[in-house]
């Protein structure tokens, strides 16, 4: 245990200052955490190993994607900054899953990697309450009651803090692996963090070791793009930031395309002939890798029936010739990587600028945190991002925002802000990590959200802006604009439901043209929009009272009307879910003594101390029968408390 008394014994240590909150690490999680704390008026120390790598994109140079785009819009709706920064640095935008229902529409943007990092650094440096410092944190200090009260850097600077948020990414005790070459290094050849992991373990926090990787980067001049399938951008995708959307700011018209290719039989041959040199299969790599983003050699081994795998060739920015081969991560030796790359269409002469590598790093067992992301082992310590076992920039930023908010709430003496699974993808993400834990890098997917018809990317502001305003991250001007949008949506839905059209030749013509059954009687505009083949814009010629509305308002109106029945069913499911979530569980419940609970359930519940009956029901090893026993126990305890109160009052 570190403590301030050691300052007297170690001449190289010195008191460097005091802050309300220290944020350790300035990746996507750290920048959001620091911004939230600073914006809420707290003095915030943001420490990073590399001052020129804030919010770095060491792997895929993109923001958003399936389920991840929903997270970015939720971050923005709460008052975070990832969406705003992404809009400023986008070089290509696309809305994924357009052929499917709006529940899974997912915005994605290719970033100018260097621009994104520069703009984030500039934004952080301009925040009045943030002190940005390049330093390596090696030790945590805490008092006899296990309250964190300080941190120490490698240079000996010791800071008093009231709370801390660790956002270490993939840097803690990291090593990169490329065949037989193993380096004690962080991503992109940057220095790693040493010592902090041990300090956390000393505090009682369970640690684990994960692995991820990044693909090859090649020079565009040496690539034949003409043989690849082009993937142009979609300038009609709305911006990530709701503020930009309300102000009519749209993505750039001129966008840099991406490309798609497939592996060849030669690719498979090169990989299979060199599998004996793969650290993944030789046992050199000890950390657990991501199941949903395997390396290319792992794909061929795990899916032998698939003759080929798709690779995306993506630009790294406007002022660089680097191209990123998404889907082509590997830890095979560099000489093998050259053969692998040259086996791909259009890449037979490609020059590799950065070889691929695997990276192992320390992270925590996230079940040692609660739903506020505060450690259950060290009070006032919060964790966010890949240190919690997740993968992805968006997952990290979402956790960073919530950890920062809750660190601020802790210092301010206020209740934590917790989003549940029915409110946001952020709620699903944190609940999954904290309640269920993860044995591999966790990735957000739409299938993880039970209420995804309700948790859409387009309505993130309707779900969360009010919460962001109450917290203090959404200012009054933006909140007023949000309220105006909300009113416009409701007014237009009311108008469409109350506007009836009589049968007419024009109506018959429009319905026939759209492949819809003509009507012989009067029908409301809302009833027409409910038809799958009809859209709001199809009816503009016969809708005389139509107001001028923003595209975002029109989209919301159409989705709300078209999916009204599904949304009603979803709301009923959410009400049932809420019934369990509102049944709070006291941390002092003696689970080991409750008769009827199975032994595994007693052990898991006593260890995790769930905050609600709903959270208890999602713990692995707790069955529906155990929940029924808990319900009986809670009712009995409530009766006893009532009787005790009655006896006291009678006395």
Task: Indicate if 400 and 544 belong to the same structural domain.
Answer: no
Identify the pLDDT of residue 642. Answer: 82
Classified as helix, coil or strand, 590 is: coil
Structural domain contains residue 633 = yes
In this model, does residue 2 exceed pLDDT 60?
A: no
Which of 537, 569, 601 terminates a domain? The answer is: 569
d(CA 240, CA 29) in angstroms, rounded, equals: 17
Q: How far is the C-alpha of 225 from the C-alpha of 311, rounded, in Å?
A: 13
Structural domain boundaries enclosing 542: 492-569
457 inside domain: yes
For the record, the structure tokens of 458 come out as: 């387009």
Average pLDDT over residues 226-253: 91
Q: Is 484 domain-assigned?
A: no
Is residue 1 pLDDT above 50, yes or no? no
Q: Looking at the structure, tell me whether residues 388 and 505 fall in a common domain.
A: no
Max CA separation in the chain (angstroms): 93
Q: Helix or strand or coil: residue 374? A: strand
Model-level pTM? 0.93
Cα separations (Å) of 469 from 76, 79, 283, 460, 465? 12, 8, 50, 14, 6
How many CA atoms are closer than 13 Å to the CA of 635, on its beta-carbon side?
Answer: 6
pLDDT of 277 reads 87
Query: Which of 20-29, 298-307, 501-510 has maximum average pLDDT?
Result: 20-29
- In a shared domain, residues 614 and 535: no
Whether residue 477 is predicted with pLDDT greater than 70 in this model: the reply is yes
The C-alpha atoms of residue 109 and residue 93 are separated, in whole angstroms, by 4
The average pLDDT across 113-140 equals 97
* Nearest alpha-carbon partner for 91 in 123, 59, 61, 54: 61
Same structural domain for residues 190 and 41? yes
pLDDT digits (tens, 9 = 90+) for 540-569: 999 988 999 999 999 999 999 999 999 999
CB distance 196 to 141 below 8 Å: no
How much is the average pLDDT of 414-424?
95
Question: For the segment 187-197, what is each residue's pLDDT rounded down to a tens digit?
Answer: 989 999 999 99
Q: Rounded mean pLDDT of 624-648? A: 84
Q: Summarize pLDDT for 40-60 with one digit per residue, the tens.
A: 999 999 999 999 999 999 989
Question: To the nearest whole number, what is the mean pLDDT of the chain?
Answer: 93
Model confidence band, residue 291 (pLDDT cutoffs 50, 70, 90): low
CATH number of 611's domain = 1.10.150.570
Q: Do the domain assignments include residue 482?
A: no
Asked, for residue 574, whether it belongs to a domain, the answer is no
pLDDT class of 347 with cuts at 50, 70, 90: very high
Q: Do both 196 and 147 map to the same domain?
A: yes
Claim to verify: residue 565 and residue 587 sit in the same structural domain? no
Round to whole Å and give the CA distance between 113 and 317.
Answer: 6
> Residue 576's pLDDT is what?
86
pLDDT of amino acid 635? 86
C-alpha–C-alpha distance, residues 30 and 47, integer Å: 9
- For residue range 207-227, list pLDDT tens digits in order: 999 999 899 999 999 999 999
Express as a percent the part of the chain with pLDDT over 90: 75
Tell me: do 178 and 227 sit in the same domain: yes
CATH code of residue 455: 3.50.50.60
Q: Is residue 108 included in any domain, yes or no?
A: yes
Dist. CA 142–CA 146, nearest whole Å: 6
Q: Is the pLDDT of residue 249 over 90?
A: no
Q: Which of 260, 271, 208 has its CA nearest to residue 232? A: 260
Give the pairing type, strands 137-142 and 148-153.
antiparallel
Q: Quick one: how far is CA 570 from the chain centroid?
A: 23
Q: Check residue 250 and give its pLDDT.
A: 84
What mean pLDDT is predicted for residues 472-488?
Answer: 97
Partner residues linked to 375 by β-bridges: 369
Q: Tell me if 575 is assigned to some domain.
A: no
Q: Give the confidence band of 344 by pLDDT, cuts at 50, 70, 90.
A: very high
Identify the CA nearest to 147 among candidates 310, 378, 351, 350.
378
Per-residue pLDDT, 289: 66
Q: Looking at the structure, do residues 159 and 58 belong to the same domain, yes or no?
A: yes
Which residue among 545, 569, 593 closes a domain?
569
> What's the CATH code of the domain at 522?
1.10.10.1800
User: Would you say residue 305 has pLDDT above 90?
Assistant: no
Do residues 524 and 546 both lie within one domain? yes
Q: Are strands 14-24 and 157-166 parallel, antiparallel or unpaired?
A: parallel
Task: Give domain status of residue 275, yes or no.
Answer: yes
Indicate the range of 152-166, 240-254, 380-394 predicted with least confidence. Answer: 240-254
pLDDT for 374: 98
Instruction: Give residue 282's pLDDT.
Output: 67
Q: How far is CA 128 from the centre of its chain?
A: 26
pLDDT at 395: 98
* CB neighbour class for 308 (10 Å; exposed up to 12, middle 13-18, buried from 19): middle
* Structural domain ending residue among the three candidates 536, 569, 602: 569
Does residue 262 come out as left (phi exceeding 0), alpha (psi in the -120 to 50 range) or beta? Answer: beta
* Range of weakest confidence among 84-88, 89-93, 95-99: 95-99
- C-beta of residue 567 within 8 angstroms of C-beta of residue 556: no
The three-state DSSP-derived secondary structure of 396-418 is HHHHHHHHHHHHHHHHHCCCCCC
Q: What is the number of structural domains in the chain?
A: 3
CA distance 95 to 83: 15
Statement to judge: residues 254 and 381 lie in one domain: yes
pLDDT at residue 284 greater than cutoff 80:
no
Give yes or no: residues 254 and 395 share one domain.
yes
- Please give the average per-residue pLDDT across 268-289, as a whole number: 80
Q: Are 212 and 309 part of one and the same domain?
A: yes
For every residue of 278-342, DSSP letters joined together read: -HHHHT---SBPPTTS--HHHHHHH-TT----EEEEEE--TT--EEEEEEEE--S-HHHHHHHHH
Q: Taking residues 338-349, report their average pLDDT.
A: 97
Instruction: Give the C-alpha separation, 184 to 379, whole Å.
Output: 31
**Per-residue pLDDT for 611 more than 60?**
yes
- pLDDT of 54: 96
b/e per residue 622-638 (b: at least 16 CB within 10 A): beeebbebbeebbeeee
- What is the rounded average pLDDT of the residues 482-499? 96
């Amino acid at each position: 245990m570190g403590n301030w008394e050691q300052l007297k014994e170690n001449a190289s240590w010195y008191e460097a200052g005091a802050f309300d909150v220290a944020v350790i690490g300035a990746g996507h999680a750290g920048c959001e955490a620091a911004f939230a704390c600073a914006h809420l008026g707290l003095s915030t120390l943001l420490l990073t190993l590399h001052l020129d790598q804030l919010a770095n994109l060491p792997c895929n140079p993109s923001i958003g994607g399936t389920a991840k785009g929903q997270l970015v819009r939720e971050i923005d709706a709460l008052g975070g900054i990832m969406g705003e920064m992404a809009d400023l640095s986008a070089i290509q935008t696309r809305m994924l899953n357009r052929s499917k229902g709006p529940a899974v529409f997912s915005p994605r943007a290719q970033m100018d990697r260097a621009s994104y990092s520069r703009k984030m650094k500039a934004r952080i440096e301009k925040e009045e309450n943030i002190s940005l410092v390049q330093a390596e944190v090696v030790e945590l200090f805490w008092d006899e009651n296990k309250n964190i009260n300080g941190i120490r850097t490698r240079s000996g600077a010791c800071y008093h803090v009231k709370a801390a948020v660790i956002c270490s990414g993939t840097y803690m005790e990291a090593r990169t692996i490329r065949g037989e070459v193993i380096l004690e290094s962080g991503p992109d050849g940057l220095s790693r963090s040493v010592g902090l992991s041990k300090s956390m373990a000393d505090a009682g926090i369970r640690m684990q070791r994960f692995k991820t990787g990044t693909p090859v980067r090649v020079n565009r001049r040496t690539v034949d793009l003409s043989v690849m399938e082009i993937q142009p951008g979609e300038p009609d995708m709305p911006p990530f930031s709701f503020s930009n959307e309300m102000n009519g700011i749209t993505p750039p018209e001129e966008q840099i395309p991406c490309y798609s290719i497939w592996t060849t039989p030669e690719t498979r041959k090169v990989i299979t002939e060199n599998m004996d040199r793969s650290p993944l299969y030789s046992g050199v790599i000890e950390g657990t890798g991501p199941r949903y983003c395997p390396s290319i050699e792992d794909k061929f081994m795990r899916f032998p029936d698939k003759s080929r795998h798709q690779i995306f060739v993506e630009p790294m920015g406007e002022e660089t010739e680097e191209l990123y081969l998404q889907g082509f991560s590997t830890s095979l030796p560099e000489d093998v990587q050259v053969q692998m790359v040259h086996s791909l269409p259009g890449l037979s002469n490609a020059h590799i600028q950065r070889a691929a590598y695997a990276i192992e790093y320390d992270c925590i067992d996230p079940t040692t945190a609660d739903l506020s992301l505060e450690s259950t082992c060290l009070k006032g310590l919060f964790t966010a991002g890949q240190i919690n076992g997740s993968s992805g920039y968006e997952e990290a930023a979402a956790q960073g925002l919530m950890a920062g908010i809750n660190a601020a709430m802790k210092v301010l003496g206020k209740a934590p802000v917790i989003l549940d699974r029915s409110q946001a993808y952020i709620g699903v993400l944190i609940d999954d990590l904290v309640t269920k834990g993860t044995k591999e890098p966790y990735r957000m997917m739409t299938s993880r959200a039970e209420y995804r018809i309700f948790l859409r990317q387009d309505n993130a502001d309707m779900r969360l802006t009010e919460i962001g305003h109450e917290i203090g991250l959404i200012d009054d001007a933006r909140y007023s604009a949000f309220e105006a949008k909300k009113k416009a949506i409701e007014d237009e839905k009311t108008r469409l439901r109350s506007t009836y059209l009589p049968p007419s030749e024009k109506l018959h013509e429009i319905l026939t043209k759209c492949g819809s059954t003509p009507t012989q009687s009067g029908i409301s505009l809302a009833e027409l929009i409910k038809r799958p083949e009809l859209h709001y814009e199809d009816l503009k010629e016969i809708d005389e009272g139509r107001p001028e509305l923003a595209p975002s308002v029109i989209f919301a109106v159409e989705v709300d009307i078209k999916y009204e029945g599904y949304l009603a069913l979803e709301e009923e499911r959410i009400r049932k879910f809420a019934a369990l979530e509102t049944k709070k569980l006291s941390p002092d419940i003696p689970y080991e003594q409750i008769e009827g609970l199975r032994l595994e359930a007693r052990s898991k519940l006593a260890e995790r101390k769930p905050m609600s009956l709903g959270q208890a029901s999602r713990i692995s090893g707790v069955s529906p029968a155990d929940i029924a026993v808990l319900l009986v126990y809670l009712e009995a305890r409530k009766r006893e408390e009532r009787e005790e109160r009655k006896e006291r009052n009678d006395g």
